[in-house]
Amino acid sequence: MLLLAACATQSPAPVDERIASEQVRAPAAAETRGLQVYPLRNPAVAELSSAALQAEQAGDLARAALLLERALRIEPRDPEVLQQMAEVRLDQGRWEQAEGYARRSFDVGPRVGELCERNWRTVALARERQDENPAAAEARRRLSACRVEPPSRL
């Protein structure tokens, strides 16, 4: 019984720390030709988000998560911060949390553009890592709805 309890409390296995940048951010950034929505941001939240990105790039995922938690205390519904936290959780191997943050980001954020694609790529990867392949395939299908061409100019 103690052996089972000890297994349940172990931290996630180490993960390749480039999952988010290589499989979520880079492909979404490559598809920027469609309609993009950029909300106004609180300067304090933007600064914390920037510092978290630097910590993440330096490999300090714990610090990145801490900075993002502070940003979420200021703006709990900021879709960019929610998605950034999802990507940090993805890199940490915390699949359920990654999916939860990405879905919250989608719920409060723009339903088009790069952020939307990052949301669904994160959900798909988290589901794949949890061996939920049909659900991952559904998340990948939802990516196409994020690509909306801007209206033609007169």
- Count CA atoms closer than 13 A to 105's CA, side-chain side: 29
pTM here is: 0.80
DSSP letters, 26-75, are HHHHHTTTS--------HHHHHHHHHHHHHHHTT-HHHHHHHHHHHHHH-
Report helix, strand or coil for 11. Answer: coil
Amino acid 35: pLDDT:
61
State the amino acid at position 15 in one-letter form: V
Please check whether residue 46 lies inside any domain of the structure: yes
Specify the CATH number for the domain of residue 68.
Answer: 1.25.40.10
* Residue 134 falls inside a structural domain: yes
Q: Please report whether residue 8 resides in a domain.
A: no
d(CA 120, CA 67): 23
Residue 149's pLDDT is what? 80
**Distance between CA atoms of residues 99 and 12, nearest Å:** 15
Q: Domain for residue 54, yes or no?
A: yes
11 belongs to a structural domain: no
Contacts for 58-62: CB closer than 8 Å, 24+ residues apart: 59/17, 61/17, 61/88, 61/91, 61/92
Number of independent structural domains in the chain: 1
- The domain in which residue 109 lies consists of 16-31+40-146
pLDDT in tens, the chain (154 residues): 444 444 444 444 444 557 776 778 766 665 656 666 667 889 999 999 999 999 999 999 999 999 999 999 999 999 999 999 999 999 999 999 999 999 999 999 999 989 999 999 999 999 999 999 999 999 999 988 998 887 777 6
Residue 151 lies in a domain: no
CA distance 55 to 42: 20
